[in-house]
Every structure is written in structure tokens, then in C-alpha cells.
């Protein structure tokens, strides 16, 4: 079975590839000749995931899935949430985003946060969504060099390290995207 993963983020491809069974061949957007930016203009994480999967299905005809992720911080009423990528501006820079979040939380005691991933899957003309959540807290400084995005300032519940200090296998086993992908794989295996 061939399935397109509708992302240009090579870190995400690496994470998801490690979780997908061998009988599913993962194609990238480059593999199908999709070089344009896929619109992400919805105001919910779920809406953006569905928008991206619908776009690839409508324009390229492939069965596909897309993910959208946001970091929801309790004391900021769920921000940056769906706006996580451009939290500190349109340049979508991870360091700028982390610095802004650390500054916003400077005087806050409650540092609870969660990552939320929604995967939207288009297969056999059916649309399904899967949600994965990982709870944790925002640290007071950046540590670690693994992963991407907000990983250096997110410490999952029950762990002393940030995501950026962990091997990918551990991040995948407890993380938001890993949880959503497990549901996706279970669904595909039942088909």
C-alpha cells in the first residue's frame, strides 16, 4: 500500500517512518511532484490537518495523511495552539518561538502544557482523524539538541529530560505524534 505523508518537514517524516509498518510505502510530497506550500488557514489544529489531507487528495489523487500539531500552554489559555509555527512571526523560527514563549512564562508559576497532534487520513474516499496528546511542562531554559520545534523547552510528564534530550525512540513511544500514528496504523491494519 502506498500512502502520501503530506508534509515537507523531514523531522516529521523521520519520526513517522520509524512507526509505520513495512508493508506501507510512505511517499513524500516531493515524490509525487507537489512542491507548492499547502494552505493551512483554518483556526483549529484538526481543521488544518483536514485541509492539508483534502488538498493533496483533490489535487494529486493519492490516498494520504496530514498532521497538524500545536503546543497548548495552560496559563496562556491554550496559546500558541494552532498558531505554534508562527508564534513569534511569519519567519516561523523555532528559536524565536521558544524565546517568546519563555518570556511570556517568565513570571508564571503554572508551566503546564501539552502537545496535540491531529492526523487526518484520506483512504478509499473516507476521511478519518486521529488525535494524540502528550502532557508536560515548559522548562525555564532550552536544553538538548535532538528533535525540532519546541522540543528543547518541553519536558514530558514523568521525565527529567526535555524531548530534545531524548532518543527518538523514547519521544515516539510517549509523544503526541507517536500516539496519533499508532491509532492510524491500528486503523490501517484493520482495513
CB 130 within 8 A of CB 118: yes
- From the list 31-39, 52-60, 136-144, 146-154, the region that binds ligand IMP by CB under 6 A is 146-154
What is the rounded CA–CA span in Å between residue 121 and residue 91? 28
From residue 71, alpha-carbon distances to 34, 103, 148, 175 in Å are 27, 16, 13, 12
Q: Which of 63, 67, 68, 151 is catalytic?
A: 68
Q: Strands, E, within 87-125: which ranges?
A: 112-123
Cβ proximity to ligand IMP: between 60 and 148 the closer is: 148
Should residue 38 be labelled a site residue for ligand IMP when binding is judged by CB under 6 A? no
What is the rounded CA–CA span in Å between residue 188 and residue 21? 10
Cβ proximity to ligand IMP: between 23 and 90 the closer is: 90
The residue from 73, 177, 178, 188 that contacts ligand IMP (CB under 6 A) is 177
What is the rounded CA–CA span in Å between residue 188 and residue 16? 14
Beta bridge partners of 184: none
- Residue list 88-117, contact with ligand IMP (CB under 6 A): 94, 97
Q: In 10 A of CB 50, how many CB atoms?
A: 21
Identify whether 68 is a catalytic site residue. yes
The residue from 60, 62, 148, 187 that contacts ligand IMP (CB under 6 A) is 148
Should residue 85 be labelled a site residue for ligand IMP when binding is judged by CB under 6 A? yes
Least distance to ligand IMP from the beta carbon of 80, Å?
Answer: 8
Which helix (H) or strand (E) segment holds residue 138: the answer is strand 126-138
Should residue 69 be labelled a site residue for ligand IMP when binding is judged by CB under 6 A? yes
The residue from 63, 72, 151, 165 that contacts ligand IMP (CB under 6 A) is 151
Would you name the residues annotated as active-site residues?
68
- Residues interacting with ligand IMP, by CB under 6 A? 9, 67-69, 71, 84-85, 94, 97, 147-151, 163, 177
Amino acid at each position: 500500500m502506498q500512502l502520501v505523508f503530506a508534509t515537507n518537514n523531514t523531522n516529521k517524516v523521520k519520526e513517522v517512518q520509524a512507526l509505520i509498518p513495512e508493508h506501507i510505502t510512505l511517499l513524500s510530497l516531493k515524490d509525487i511532484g507537489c512542491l507548492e506550500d499547502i494552505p493551512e488557514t483554518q483556526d483549529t489544529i484538526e481543521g488544518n490537518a483536514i485541509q492539508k489531507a483534502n488538498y493533496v487528495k483533490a489535487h494529486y489523487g493519492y490516498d494520504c495523511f496530514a498532521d497538524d500539531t500545536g503546543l497548548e500552554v495552560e496559563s496562556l489559555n491554550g496559546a500558541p495552539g494552532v498558531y505554534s509555527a508562527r508564534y513569534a512571526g511569519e519567519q516561523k523560527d523555532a528559536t524565536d518561538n521558544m524565546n517568546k514563549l519563555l518570556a511570556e512564562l517568565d513570571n508564571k508559576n503554572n508551566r503546564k502544557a501539552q502537545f496535540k497532534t491531529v492526523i487526518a487520513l484520506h483512504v478509499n474516499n473516507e476521511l478519518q482523524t486521529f488525535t494524540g496528546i502528550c502532557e508536560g511542562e515548559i522548562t525555564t531554559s532550552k536544553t538538548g539538541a535532538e528533535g525540532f520545534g519546541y522540543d528543547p523547552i518541553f519536558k514530558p510528564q514523568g521525565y527529567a529530560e526535555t524531548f530534545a534530550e531524548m532518543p527518538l525512540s523514547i519521544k515516539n513511544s510517549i509523544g503526541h505524534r507517536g500516539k496519533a500514528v499508532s491509532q492510524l496504523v491500528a486503523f490501517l491494519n484493520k482495513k
